[in-house]
Chain A
Amino acid sequence: MKKDKFMNPYLAGFFLGLLLLVTIFITGRGLGASGAFKSGVISAVSSVFPVHTGETHYYLEYFEEHKGNPLKSWLVFEVIGVIIGAFMSALMSDRLKLKLEHSPGITSKTRIAAALIGGALFGLGSQLGRGCTSGSALSGMAVLSTGGIITMLAIFGGAYAFAFFFRKLWITK
């Protein structure tokens, strides 16, 4: 595979759709990502501040619904797989490179701040929305869930609505 030559997006989408279908057929649930972040946070907080998690409503509610180690969850294993799969793919296509990517119009510092703030907003939003682009929007669309499709519309609608205000982060014009 040539460097920087990406797969045709429709073909990639078709493969992703088949993968999602197979996932639903095998496991009865779709793909996801933010759930693994949640498991990570809960695991970290409960091992560092066990007293705190033992008396805080949110963590108690979580442990009531999820027995056992939060890291021994389906999404955590799936996300570990994503890391391996993406690494292998980038290795094969010669795209592995440690770099901070940003638009030429902004500095590295700005990009770091934006990535941190954007991540925090996405992390917060994914908890409110009960899933992110994968778990709620994409998987929700596949099973025709009203909630999933509304979240999807809100994500893309919101992004378009806010895009104008943050254009300087991405385009120089």
Chain B
Amino acid sequence: MGPLVPDIIGNELNLVVALLIGIAFGFILEQAGFSTSRKLVGLFYGYDFTVLRVFFTAGITAMLGVIAFGHFGILDLNLIYINPTYIWSALAGGLFMGMGFVIGGFCPGTSVCAAATGKIDAMIFIAGSFLGVLIFAEGYPWFEGLYKAGFWGFPHIFETIGISQASFAVVMTIMAVGAFAAAALVEKRVIGTPVTSGMPARIYYGLGIGAILISLTSFAMPERQSGILEKSEDAKIISSFAPKSMTIDEFAFRIMDEESSLHIVDLRSPEHTKGKSLPNSVNMTLAGMFGKDAAKFFARRNATYVIVDEDESAEKKAAYIADELGFENVFILSEGMKGFEEKILNFRMPEGNLSRADSDTYRFREKARNVIPELIKNNSKKTSPEKKESKRALGGC
């Protein structure tokens, strides 16, 4: 599961990857014709919409790819960098950049590409950019208010607008294809023939329709996490879902046995279980089950996983999610931790005559009541090793 950095590709190797990706990036930009300012600004004057075509085709390709990767669990979307939304600086910064674009004729990436091919105006643009960054750095006290105002967090555009991810993807694709068609028409009026007239028009019609059809498949690829979480909240689905369950006695026995292949997934918060966490247990949230760390955790060979929470209904939700994600050997604790605490940890021997089977059970519980708190105490005494948790990648500029 991606991203491969930092687990599979270390931070040092990542710099080599950066160099290789940069080479491909520069090569594509140059081949597309992004090393000439007159071609770049063409879209603002109607004589060359190459930038529009390259930019939106790339954006849509990557967007649909990310949606598909997320759906099939190839990429952990919780770990990728989502640009933060600071509404005012995004708007103001964008306007400054737009003005810089029509005056200077480049953007930072294309100026580097053009400078590498010998364009002196691009080298000057880069010098200007350094100056611009310096102005920002030195004038930071003055810009800071605007820079940090209107922080909305890290929302997705479809959440901000309030539509589904798939609807947004389709709308975006249709808008792009429409813009491509309009671009060809404008070019025809301004310079007589579209820049892309090398191939027959019907090929472009086919590609445009193809792109829209492909974008429609995103309806079949809902964002995995929200889709499954939503279903796990559906009482009807959960009531008809029968997970494997473990009785509190078996659970107690296997804890006392200190079975190393028994992994306890505690849905209660770490604050709640602090100082009384069960041996060999980890705290996990429902959303956390979708992550890369969880995928690794649930993939252990010959392991048994027991999901515990206060009561069974919360455990069942988690078991449903585990089932949807294809995790195996997942049990819920029948009667939940409430039952476990009441009948094991705070066990009171009932009075009166007991059947043979019952008295065996009770004798076991009495023993468990004495042993398990000791195990819990030892477990929390253990200086738990620094928990390694995958963090979201840092990106941006």
Residue-by-residue, is A88-105 near B (CB-CB < 8 Å gives 1, otherwise 0)? Answer: 111001011111111100
Given contacts A29-B81, A117-B103, A145-B85, contact A152 B129 (CB under 8 A): no
Residue-by-residue, is B100-138 near A (CB-CB < 8 Å gives 1, otherwise 0)? Answer: 111111111111111111111110111111111111111
Give the docked Cα–Cα distance between A40 and B82 (Å): 24
- Kindly specify which of B278-286, B366-374, B389-397 makes contact with the partner chain: B389-397
Chain A residue contacts of B60, Cβ below 8 A: 17
Residue-by-residue, is A80-116 near B (CB-CB < 8 Å gives 1, otherwise 0)? Answer: 1111111111100101111111110000000110111
A163, chain B: closest CB distance, angstroms: 4
Return the contact of A9 from the options B92, B101, B104, B195 (Cβ within 8 A): B195
Given contacts A88-B23, A89-B31, contact A32 B397 (CB under 8 A): yes
Q: Is the CB of A141 within 8 A of B141?
A: no
Give the docked Cα–Cα distance between A70 and B92 (Å): 26
Q: Counting CB contacts under 8 A, is B54 at the interface?
A: yes
Q: Is the CB of B89 within 8 A of A15?
A: no
Chain B residue contacts of A155, Cβ below 8 A: 94-95, 97-98, 101, 107
Chain A residue contacts of B156, Cβ below 8 A: 143-146
Interface residue total, chain A, C-beta cutoff 8 A: 125
Q: Is the CB of A128 within 8 A of B96?
A: yes
Chain A residue contacts of B31, Cβ below 8 A: 6-7, 12, 89, 93
Give the docked Cα–Cα distance between A137 and B79 (Å): 19
Q: Counting CB contacts under 8 A, is B91 at the interface?
A: yes
Chain B residue contacts of A18, Cβ below 8 A: 61-62, 65
Q: Is the CB of B25 within 8 A of A129?
A: no
Q: Is the CB of B108 within 8 A of A153?
A: no
Give the docked Cα–Cα distance between A78 and B112 (Å): 11
Chain B residue contacts of A143, Cβ below 8 A: 63, 66, 80-83, 156
Q: Is the CB of B112 within 8 A of A83?
A: yes
Q: Is the CB of B199 within 8 A of A83?
A: no
Q: Is the CB of B2 within 8 A of A142?
A: no
Chain A residue contacts of B165, Cβ below 8 A: 144
B352, chain A: closest CB distance, angstroms: 63
Given contacts A9-B53, A86-B30, A147-B84, contact A21 B93 (CB under 8 A): no
Q: Is the CB of A27 within 8 A of B61?
A: no
Chain B residue contacts of A87, Cβ below 8 A: 26, 116-117
- Kindly specify which of B40-48, B261-269, B301-309 makes contact with the partner chain: B40-48
16 residue pairs from A and B, CB less than 8 Å apart: A14-B57, A81-B20, A86-B29, A90-B118, A120-B131, A125-B98, A127-B136, A129-B90, A133-B109, A136-B90, A145-B84, A145-B155, A158-B94, A159-B102, A166-B102, A169-B105
Chain B interfacial positions (CB closer than 8 Å to A): 2-5, 9, 14-33, 35-38, 41, 44-45, 47, 49-50, 53-63, 65-66, 69, 74-75, 79-87, 89-122, 124-138, 140-141, 143-144, 146-147, 152, 154-160, 165, 168, 172, 180, 195-196, 198-199, 204, 207, 392-397
